């Protein structure tokens, strides 16, 4: 069984097939939300005082920030590898572009389906980007070891599972998770870790030389880091209730992220014998604070609560990079290229816990009578819920997300292990030249071109 | 006739002269729009319910996104050449900074002129950026082959012609073109192609070595690509009617661009014998979907309609890069450095056609009675227009834009061909060192410094 | 006294100590502004017509733009040095993350303190970013010559002094300074220049080779330049009054910056004997126009007034880089790494003067009766103020800012001169490897590792 990485037929056919299916399904199902429909004013004239009441103006700036996080943020964050920049940015671009379409459909069927149609507006666009965010997270674990065809397959399945999990959490368990600590980060991270565990490559040290950064690749990665860091307040507030909830979510995220930078820097320096800083920590651990307030940001976490969450996560995340990642790789055979367990896994679980505790300790004193009902939607079917019940369901959400991630990741990992997707040989991992025409300045002897006499590595 | 590229007097004098003229004309003509004037509240108190009704809050976020597209988007997209990054970003910065001032005046005279004054507000800023967008497009065709003085001259003329063409389309033909498929992309592309055709350099292969990318220059270019791609929904919705039209334009553009990525990747892989992806396609063809819904994005194109447009444009654009660009260069003597014909030319025309068809098939069933009137402004002088009339005028707009571009481009090309603007010799094209002090690490033997004994290349 | 640059204990302890103090002070003092509090609707129901009246929707887009300017703008602008990119981006990230927390407290005590609590909302976040902006400015003067511990110490003191100065200007002198020509730029620049004057290093030529750029570092710096340039209209309008004032501030800044680019390019070319452009000028002088309308942007400066201000500042700033910076270094022993005197110092003072003159010449004819009161807050304690009084106080604000900067900078400089903060030796300035683990490709002989036998350089 020789691995063939020539994707000339597989990649085009996969892309075209998926895109044709999208066109057909959109044709059958997708229509504009009333607020994006030309009938808008006619139908709503009585109820709206002004054009500015259109949800577009509440959410569009946040949407654009989230969009930048998905495409530039995640894309450039993963360019830190010395010879994998094209793939990091390009494959992320590809999978996200497919994923948002599929997510509009999947999430639409679960949440925006009326009379046989999915009605989409700006909030759907944000949620589609969110869903794809969890795929970008998982991509971080398998970065450099898979083909773009595998990524598209993974996206197809992961978006599907994400939507099911999100439906269970938001609609059945009725949890709050506006910034997605559970649905996006916990799910995405453990899904990706399970996939990479299944795809374990025992001879990966053959590409070890390329698994590090160079000076300019680290600077490119900082573009990704900073756009993620700066726009995270928009991420966590983008789909919160209008008004004070969005406002509060932005403030809490801002605070948590600021604290996280200081403790990440502190740990990075403390854990190196000459006290020097490690770019990997600055690029990643500084973001953990945003992950960990994903659930609670819109709640009355209080600014100091946010600082504490950020404080803890900067430490946990940096410790993870120094001690846990090597352990996972050597003992548990989990090869986590970007260290997503440290940036999304642990902080995601912490975020779920913080959310559960914050919800459980909500009170009318802090929220006001109306505020409490409004914040947790304690009306209709949830009329008799207490904050502690909400907290309990929040906690359950963490376990559901974990279970879905582990089971789903295992299944998808097995599918991706099939030797037909054009994955690279162990000695060609982390190398753009496998799938890209690379400018001459970067070509060199390290890349091993396809050779029919080359014996494949047992996977 | 020896070409002299020392711009010590020509560039400063051109810049200062143009800027002095701008100051004088602004002094005579430009005042604040009432919504940006300190009298605002006094005069409007009766009519406005709140500060948030100020047009600033409807359009400012979109404006900033468009601003990023013009300066970072176009600027970095053109840094793909190995030794032309300073010029790509720097000259784009220069021409756009001049262009927006001149566009405020030109467009102001046509659209915002009352009682002897031009009144400017945020919508004027967006339109000025749009106008300059067409110059950035044209710049792509002549990238590397002209001096900054030539670019300023071209900007002066192109902004003028753009404004005339825009006036004919929007005011005389009364077409809709919010995202500028016709006014910006079709006009800009064919204008630029005509200019580069006139400026044909038969010995350009002397700089062939520099007409390719290096690894880091391709990554810098992806910064431009992604910011263009991400913010294109803002571009196409920025000047649409408040409310559902802006909302819909953003959704349509988001969908079209997503589809376009998949078909661009598919074609890029399918057209290379080893199935490898070409960065040029990823950097450019993925954007064609945004161009091609420029006219119809605010109409009821439907999400699946947008996907189809993006689907087609990704294919057309990539095919153009592979087959048409070499043909244009070898047979028609059109040297199109960035392949703007593939990214803006053909998709722009497709966009005009899509707009015409979408307008012609508009109905009260889809738009509602009020919605149809509102969307196409079927009132006042257009009171008796039918959708099919609108479609006919839309189609006419394409031809007018093409005619203006070809005639205008030919005239401007002839002016730029005069040997007094400091253009580089054929062997020094695509080289920053001609006009910039370049750090030592980049200096090398390939650049041919000015030499009085150097025989000029016949142009 | 051997200088030890191993920060293993000093940096972590400083970070953790500061962060713990922040947590405690936030716990004691910081609460949500009513508009970010869950009680919002309950308490305000009577007064608000809609969620969109929440200040969040007026200011959040501007906030995010300002946030990008502080972290990506300033961070990348300083990456122009060939081997100091990690430190430029990373230390800026660190100091800003600490600074915004401390600024929330300091500015909160002065401006948002009620009943023992500081109430924070989106406007506080913007103001905290603004405050840190002045630290980023000062960082530019000492870039490459200090340790991260010194930067944190400087941030601690500078934020404190900034807040005091801001209180004096805004509350006691009651000046207008929405874009911070005086409070941010003048104060930040002269503070930084005084610090670097105190920290004078007579043997800095030992790192001369590293004090220049390479090709890619100049392109990275242009990312910073462009994001600063593009978002400056948001910076100058972010905290202006809702409505026409924000609108006007954006327009004026847009105009000023555009003019500034043309005159910067003109001077850059004119001052080099071969007429070539210097990247340093394009990266910096083009921004001076934004600094110089910081005070007057929200006033009725008129678009042509803005063009004139930008026109002048492009010239002054470029002249400063060519003639003044070398003079300051050789004669006044002021080593200004980034040339902040040219970008923030002189343009800041010009901005203060422009603001004073514009305020003094305000009239009811131009502003309207209500408009004048609204623009300058001529009510309550200022009821009897005339525009010329306002102008006088504005002028006084410049001197107060200068005095605070010089005195404060001297004190802080002396503190930073203590040989305990881990500052680098003269031959190791402008070198990432002192404080960072640097990828192998960048390691080379130029860096002089710590050596106990190394004789320290007298400071």
Residue in B with minimal Cα distance to C371:
B38
Interface probe for A, chosen from B277, B296, B358, B374 (most Cβ of A below 10 Å), is B277
Residue A76: is its pLDDT beyond 90? yes
* Phi and psi at residue B277, to the nearest 5°: -80, 150
How big is the CA angle at A12 (ends A10 and A14), to the nearest 5 degrees? 65
Angle in degrees, 0-180, between the axes of helices C148-167 and C387-417, rounded to the nearest 10: 160
Q: What is the mean pLDDT of residues B293-298?
A: 97
Whether A436 and B277 lie within 8 Å, measured CB to CB? yes
| Alpha carbon distance C183, C156 (integer Å) | 17
Dmax over CA atoms of chain A, in Å, equals: 75
Sign of CA dihedral C333, C217, B211, B340: negative
For the stretch A31-72, pLDDT in tens is: 999 999 998 777 665 566 688 889 999 999 999 999 999 999
Chain C: closest CA distance from residue B217 (Å): 9
Which pLDDT score, from 0 to 100, does residue A451 have? 46
Whether B250 and A52 lie within 8 Å, measured CB to CB? no
Sign of CA dihedral C115, C118, C123, C127: positive
List subunits contacting chain B, requiring 3 or more Cβ pairs under 8 Å. A, C
Contacts of B223 in chain A (CB under 8 A): 72, 76, 223
| Alpha carbon distance A99, C166 (integer Å) | 48
Which three-class secondary structure state does DSSP give residue A102? helix
**Nearest residue to B320 via CA among B147, B457, B189, B165:** B189
pTM value? 0.96
Complex-level ipTM: 0.95
DSSP state, C458? P
B233 CA to centre of own chain? 15
Point out the residue among C50, C104, C220 whose CB comes nearest to the CB of A219.
C220
Strand order in the sheet with A30-32: A30-32, A117-120, A113-114
Interface probe for B, chosen from A18, A19, A432 (most Cβ of B below 10 Å), is A19
For the stretch C334-384, pLDDT in tens is: 999 999 999 999 999 999 999 999 999 999 999 998 899 999 999 999 999
Chain A: closest CA distance from residue C216 (Å): 8
Interface probe for A, chosen from C10, C15, C82, C84 (most Cβ of A below 10 Å), is C15
Contacts of C300 in chain B (CB under 8 A): 32, 37-38
Chain B: closest CA distance from residue C268 (Å): 8
Whether B213 and A439 lie within 8 Å, measured CB to CB? yes
Contacts of A211 in chain C (CB under 8 A): none
Which pLDDT score, from 0 to 100, does residue B452 have? 42
Residue B442: is its pLDDT beyond 80? no
What's the burial of A427, exposed, middle or buried (CB within 10 Å: 0-12/13-18/19+)?
middle
- Beta carbons within 8 Å of B42's beta carbon, 6+ residues apart: C368, C369, C370, C371
For the stretch B25-63, pLDDT in tens is: 999 999 999 999 998 777 665 566 688 889 999 999 999
* Phi and psi at residue A178, to the nearest 5°: -60, -35
Number of cross-chain residue pairs from B and C with Cβ atoms under 8 Å apart: 227
- Beta carbons within 8 Å of A162's beta carbon, 6+ residues apart: A103, A106, A131, A134, A135, A183, A184, A187, A188
For tokens 């242009």, name the residue.
C222
Mean pLDDT of chain A: 93
Contacts of B82 in chain C (CB under 8 A): none
Whether C226 and B67 lie within 8 Å, measured CB to CB? no
Point out the residue among B9, B36, B67 whose CB comes nearest to the CB of C247.
B36
* Phi and psi at residue A456, to the nearest 5°: -70, 150
Question: Per residue in B343-354, is it b (16+ CB within 10 Å) or e — as a string?
Answer: bbbbbbbbbbbb
Point out the residue among A35, A104, A216 whose CB comes nearest to the CB of B247.
A35
For the stretch C381-413, pLDDT in tens is: 999 999 999 999 999 999 999 999 999 999 999
A51 CA to centre of own chain? 33
Whether C36 and A251 lie within 8 Å, measured CB to CB? yes
Contacts of A214 in chain C (CB under 8 A): 439, 441-442
For the stretch A326-381, pLDDT in tens is: 999 999 999 999 999 999 999 999 999 999 999 999 999 999 998 999 999 999 99
Q: How confident is the model at residue A92 (pLDDT cuts 50, 70, 90)?
A: very high
Mean pLDDT of chain B: 93
Q: How confident is the model at residue B453 (pLDDT cuts 50, 70, 90)?
A: very low
Q: Bridge partners of C113?
A: C118
State the distance between the two ends of chain A, measured CA to CA, in whole angstroms.
10
What's the burial of A208, exposed, middle or buried (CB within 10 Å: 0-12/13-18/19+)?
exposed
According to DSSP, the β-strands at C30-32 and A113-114 are unpaired
């Amino acid at each position: 069984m020789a691995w063939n990485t020539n994707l000339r037929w597989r990649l085009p056919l996969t892309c075209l097939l998926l895109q044709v299916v999208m066109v057909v399904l959109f044709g059958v199902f997708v229509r504009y939300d009333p607020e994006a429909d030309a009938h808008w004013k006619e139908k709503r004239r009585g109820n709206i005082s002004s054009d500015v009441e259109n949800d577009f103006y509440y959410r569009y700036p946040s949407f654009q920030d989230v969009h930048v996080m998905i495409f530039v943020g995640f894309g450039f964050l993963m360019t830190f590898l010395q010879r994998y920049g094209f793939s990091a940015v390009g494959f992320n671009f590809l999978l996200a572009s497919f994923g948002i379409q599929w997510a509009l459909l999947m999430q639409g069927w679960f949440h925006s389906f009326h009379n046989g149609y999915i009605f989409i507006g700006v909030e759907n666009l944000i949620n589609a980007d969110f869903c794809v965010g969890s795929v970008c997270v998982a991509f971080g674990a398998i970065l450099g070891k898979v083909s773009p065809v595998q990524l598209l397959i993974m996206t197809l399945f992961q978006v599907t599972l994400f939507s099911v999990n999100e439906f269970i959490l938001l609609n059945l368990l009725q949890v709050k998770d506006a910034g997605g600590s559970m649905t996006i980060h916990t799910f995405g991270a453990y899904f990706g870790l399970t996939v990479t565990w299944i795809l374990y490559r025992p001879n990966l040290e053959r590409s070890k030389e390329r698994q590090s950064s160079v000076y300019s690749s680290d600077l490119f990665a900082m573009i990704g880091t900073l756009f993620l860091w700066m726009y995270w307040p928009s991420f966590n507030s983008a789909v919160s209730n209008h008004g004070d909830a969005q406002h509060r979510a932005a403030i809490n995220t801002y605070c948590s992220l600021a604290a996280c930078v200081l403790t990440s820097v502190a740990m990075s320096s403390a854990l190196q014998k000459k006290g020097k800083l490690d770019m990997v920590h600055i690029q990643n651990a500084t973001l953990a604070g945003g992950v960990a307030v994903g659930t609670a940001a819109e709640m009355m976490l209080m600014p100091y609560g946010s600082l504490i969450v950020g404080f803890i996560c900067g430490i946990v995340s940096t410790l993870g990079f120094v001690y846990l990642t090597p352990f996972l790789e050597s003992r548990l055979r989990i090869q986590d290229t970007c260290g997503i367990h440290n940036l999304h896994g642990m902080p995601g679980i912490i975020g779920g816990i913080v959310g559960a505790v914050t919800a459980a300790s909500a009170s009318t004193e802090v929220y006001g009578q109306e505020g409490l009902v409004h914040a947790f939607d304690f009306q209709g079917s949830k009329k008799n819920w207490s904050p502690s019940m909400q907290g309990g369901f929040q906690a359950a959400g963490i376990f559901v997300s974990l279970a879905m991630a582990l089971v789903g990741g295992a299944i998808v990992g097995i599918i991706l292990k099939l030797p037909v997707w054009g994955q690279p040989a162990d000695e060609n991992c982390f190398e753009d030249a496998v799938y890209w025409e690379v400018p001459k300045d970067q070509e060199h002897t390290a890349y091993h071109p396809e050779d029919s006499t080359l014996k494949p590595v047992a996977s």
